[in-house]
Chains A and B, each alone.
Chain A
Amino acid sequence: MSYVPNCDQDKKEMLKTIGVKSIEDLFKCIPQELRPRSFDIPEGRSEFEVEKYFKKLAQKNPSNVITFVGGGFYDHYIPAVVDAIVAKPEFYTAYTPYQPEVSQGTLQAAYEYQSCITRLTGMEASNASLYDGGTALYEAAMMAIRITGRNKIIMDGGVSPIYRKMMYSYTSNLSIEFVEIPVTHGQSDRETIEKYLDDKTAAIILQNPNFFGVIDDHSDIVKTSHEKGVLVVQSVYPISLGVLKTPNEMNVDIVTGEGQSLGIPLSFGGPYLGFIATKKEFIRKMPGRIVGRTTDGNGRDGFVLTLQTREQHIRREKATSNICSNEALCALRAVVYMSIMGKDGFRKVAELCMDKTEYTKKRLEEIKGVEVKRSSPTFNEFAVKLPKDPNEVISRLIDKGIEAGFPLGRYYDDLKDYMLIAVTEKRTKQEIDIFIGSLEEVLWS
């Protein structure tokens, strides 16, 4: 099985035209001594057998688990329309739209995606996608370094620890100075941030809601940062923008985020969608593909990849980034999701998340020894202090078919008693009640 249409007759005729005796003759430019020392691959199997094999593997991952795990990646409902549109071969089997005349579908969808991201964040410009929220944040930091010509980065402790780890990996061979500001009271610590802002700082990186689910209004930090010529990068959770103050309303310079919540399945970590948006003045410093609207010779409107002189295929080692393939099909999911949810639906999803989160908090507070952090407002995720080791609690709840949350001790040494709980619009009152009942049982019986 190799999806090869050529039959023996075809091959014979083709070899004759080429003027060689066998297919092997075509490989004579590979010297014999360089041929494989081994190629121990099992022989192929039928479609039926392979499907059966994967179904068996899939069964090893129970799918009927009720999840309260988030950490920046959420179990949101995906409307059937989203799956139906991305399943169109005209979208998913198309190439990068380098030939615009035969790629207007992909290009227009990307333009509409860019428009939705700018409308959601309030920013003026978005690119057509990056790999994920973590690499988008790293690209934003590099962008700020290019714009300012400075090389110090301040990172708020509320930025996802996963993203902070990624940032350090990517920059380990570069001379960039990092400062981390611990989060003490839930929101960003203004006093300490101000101490570190100076004329060497390229950017401060913030997250809203932060890793603990805490909501903040960073407007004041933006103001002090700008006074020192420091750019502000903010990582956001797109669903929260159905309700929350936009990065633009806070005058943030570069916005990034993980678009998984916009109609993309959790799929064990990917493919996801990195987004990046900025102010008009910084567009030419932004990495990745950008789609622009223009006209053809007859004055008809159309779309092209634009500002390509920023990119690796033109600029090689001088490019703004090395990115080539992006996450176009995931961006298509996102624009279809935002279209089908629409202006009101998008807000409603955000509100449902917040209402159900509040209900979960209230129910948790009824359990003896459980302490919900109430010092700052949260969106749909929050930290709780447990009277028992969260790891033990989580593992016992997994036995009951519930992913209770994420143990914060994994990333924060001083938060070993804490668990992070996420509640999306998919969690019903009944599921929350089952969770509360099971948790109480695990803790106290």
Chain B
Amino acid sequence: MELIFDRSKPGKKGIRLPEKDVPVSGEIESKYKRKDLAELPQVSEPEVVRHFTNLSKKNYSIDSNFYPLGSCTMKYNPKITEKIAALDSFASLHPLAPQLIMGGMLTQGALEVIFNLESILSEITGMSAFTSQPMAGAHGELTGIMIIAAYHRNKGNNKKYVLVPDSGHGTNPASAAIAGYIVKSIKSNDKGVMDLEAFKKELNDEVAAVMLTCPNTLGVFNDEIKKITDLTHEAGGLVYYDGANLNAILGKARPGDLGFDVVHLNLHKTFATPHGGGGPGSGPVGVKEDLIPFLPISRVIKRKDGTFALDYDHPLSIGYISPFYGNFGVMLKAYAYILLLGKSGLIEASENAVLNANYIMARIKDFYEVPYKDCCLHEFVISALNQAKNGVRAIDIAKALIDENIHPPTVYFPLIIKEALMIEPTETESKETLDGFIEVMIKISKLAESNPEFFKEFPKTTPVGRLDEVKAAKDMDIAC
């Protein structure tokens, strides 16, 4: 392993900068200056390119590997959308331009993209209006809960609690807590969905909101969902939809119709924008009519003459949650994706995501325990409890998959299932890829029977083996 700093040598130069072309100097007093220059690498351009290219080879990625990561929707990222986002007239646009008088003229195309995306997301989800400002899913959650808090404050409601099922994403309770609420966890029932009786017990007029994922992290669609949203409304609370799993139900159900008041989407999941090794994402938030006044500012509006403008005149708004209009570059890609697929394409995407998940489940259910198999939409969870009896845990199965060039499923989540492996194939994988994965999974289950001791060595084919995480946390070598 070689760091970019290891390649550094005094006198080496990367890029050549233009010579100074003005006859003055901007020299400042030395008391304002740093003593020594920052020790950034001194390397040539070919070395920079080789270094980072070689690093890239140490990654699995969706272009080269199957990624059945539950709740992460690792689908193929179309190439044309990258090209569109890189168009100079979008990429070089200064965000303050439309805030200048007459500056709106310089940004009509960009404002139109935001306006149109927000409109089309409203129709897809059955909501009244969207803001595309949140910069990731968790950021959307926080924005959504802040909108809910502002709504209750405006009504003079005194609410303290947010209810979250125990199968929910970790970001749900974290977002609610950061917004100032006390979080109560509700247990799941034997069907894998939030237990209605346990829920009713915690539901009272101090509950600000209930946060749900539907289908949930087990891939199960709660057929009592309408009852839950109705009960919450009767108690004076609002219902929040975590859109991480929207890829399961495009054109089959809409959160708005199910009674949800606030929705966030992950454009980097359902709408195929790349994950970028952990970001950037984009987490637009949609709301019902009553909550529109609380959306963050600015909002993009269409004037009567067909032009687009920024609107700040919303006295009840929660204010600024982004410096500008959100992750515009990501929004462009998602909007292009939606236009490419259109109505039939979106439905086809969900149908095949669900077909692929069900196909895998049908073929591996005899080899792994599937705790909840009555309903499976775009993902399902298996438990390695049987294999664990031989000492082969979920993490061992994950590492064995790596040696077969497959990125492991999400492991140890949801927390309610022991030795969980959460499998979401998405619609962009072929039957051949699924068959290959299934065969590997069957082979692994057999190996867990015959030679459980083999697993501790996996993975063997990667640049490094299993890394010492305890040492990492103890040494805290996080920069050099």
Q: Do A and B come from one complex?
A: yes
Min CB gap B191→A, angstroms: 10
Given contacts A53-B339, A321-B178, contact A102 B402 (CB under 8 A): yes
B279 touches A97 (CB 8 A): no
A134-172: which residues lie under 8 A (CB-CB) from chain B? 134-135, 142, 162-163, 165-166, 168-170, 172
Q: Is residue A17 contacting chain B, with contact meaning CB distance below 8 A? A: yes
Bound-complex Cα distance A94 to B427 (A): 17
Given contacts A96-B277, A103-B277, contact A19 B362 (CB under 8 A): yes
Min CB gap A122→B, angstroms: 8
B471 touches A355 (CB 8 A): no
Report the interface size for chain B: residues with CB under 8 A from the other chain: 209
Min CB gap A44→B, angstroms: 3
B72-124: which residues lie under 8 A (CB-CB) from chain A? 72, 74-78, 80, 82-97, 99-103, 105-110, 112-113, 120, 123-124
A89-116: which residues lie under 8 A (CB-CB) from chain B? 89-97, 99-106, 108-109, 111-112, 114-116
Bound-complex Cα distance A104 to B54 (A): 10
**Partner among A242, A314, A394, A428 whose Cβ is within 8 Å of the Cβ of B102:** A394
- Nearest CB in chain B to that of A208: its residue: B32
B78 touches A271 (CB 8 A): no
A340 touches B45 (CB 8 A): yes
B472 touches A101 (CB 8 A): no
Min CB gap B249→A, angstroms: 7
B93 touches A267 (CB 8 A): yes
- Nearest CB in chain A to that of B345: its residue: A2
Contact with B along A19-46 (1 / 0, CB 8 A): 1100100110111011111111111110
Count, A-B residue pairs, CB within 8 A: 710
**Partner among A112, A129, A311, A341 whose Cβ is within 8 Å of the Cβ of B4:** A112
B25 touches A358 (CB 8 A): yes
* Interfacial chain A residues near B69, Cβ < 8 Å: 95
Q: Is residue B304 contacting chain A, with contact meaning CB distance below 8 A? A: no
Q: Is residue B231 contacting chain A, with contact meaning CB distance below 8 A? A: no
B43 touches A339 (CB 8 A): yes
Q: Is residue A374 contacting chain B, with contact meaning CB distance below 8 A? A: no
Min CB gap A381→B, angstroms: 12
Bound-complex Cα distance A29 to B373 (A): 12
Given contacts A84-B49, A215-B32, A394-B100, contact A283 B476 (CB under 8 A): yes
Min CB gap B283→A, angstroms: 8
**Partner among B340, B375, B433 whose Cβ is within 8 Å of the Cβ of A45:** B340
* Interfacial chain A residues near B462, Cβ < 8 Å: 101-102, 104
Q: Is residue B343 contacting chain A, with contact meaning CB distance below 8 A? A: yes
Bound-complex Cα distance A244 to B31 (A): 9
A61 touches B276 (CB 8 A): no
A39 touches B325 (CB 8 A): no
Interface 9-mer from B220-228, B233-241, B285-293, B445-453: B220-228
* Interfacial chain A residues near B200, Cβ < 8 Å: none
Secondary structure of the B contact surface, majority rule: loop
A124 touches B479 (CB 8 A): yes
**Partner among A346, A377, A398 whose Cβ is within 8 Å of the Cβ of B32:** A377
Bound-complex Cα distance A156 to B108 (A): 35
A44 touches B343 (CB 8 A): yes
* Interfacial chain B residues near A6, Cβ < 8 Å: 352, 355-356, 427, 430-431
Contact with B along A376-415 (1 / 0, CB 8 A): 0100000000000001101100110001001100100000
* Interfacial chain A residues near B220, Cβ < 8 Å: 29
- Nearest CB in chain A to that of B124: its residue: A41
Given contacts A99-B402, A134-B323, A398-B105, contact A271 B355 (CB under 8 A): no
Contact with A along B155-194 (1 / 0, CB 8 A): 0000000000000011101111111110100000000000
Given contacts A62-B89, A270-B280, contact A67 B94 (CB under 8 A): yes
B54-75: which residues lie under 8 A (CB-CB) from chain A? 55-65, 67, 69, 72, 74-75
- Nearest CB in chain B to that of A7: its residue: B431
Q: Is residue A368 contacting chain B, with contact meaning CB distance below 8 A? A: no
Bound-complex Cα distance A168 to B374 (A): 47
B325-367: which residues lie under 8 A (CB-CB) from chain A? 325-330, 332, 336, 338-349, 351-352, 354-356, 358-359, 362-363
Q: Is residue B253 contacting chain A, with contact meaning CB distance below 8 A? A: yes
Q: Is residue A328 contacting chain B, with contact meaning CB distance below 8 A? A: yes
Min CB gap B146→A, angstroms: 7
Q: Is residue B129 contacting chain A, with contact meaning CB distance below 8 A? A: no
Interface 9-mer from A221-229, A299-307, A437-445: A299-307
Q: Is residue A257 contacting chain B, with contact meaning CB distance below 8 A? A: no
B339 touches A42 (CB 8 A): yes
B61 touches A343 (CB 8 A): no
Q: List 22 A-B contacts (CB under 8 A).
A: A3-B76, A5-B428, A10-B430, A18-B359, A29-B377, A41-B120, A50-B80, A72-B323, A83-B86, A91-B61, A92-B274, A103-B58, A114-B479, A118-B479, A131-B322, A268-B328, A270-B326, A339-B40, A349-B17, A398-B102, A403-B106, A429-B22
Additional pairs, 15, CB under 8 Å, beyond known A241-B34, A271-B282, A322-B178: A2-B352, A44-B342, A51-B80, A115-B479, A173-B181, A269-B323, A270-B327, A296-B468, A306-B478, A317-B177, A339-B48, A340-B43, A354-B26, A403-B100, A406-B100
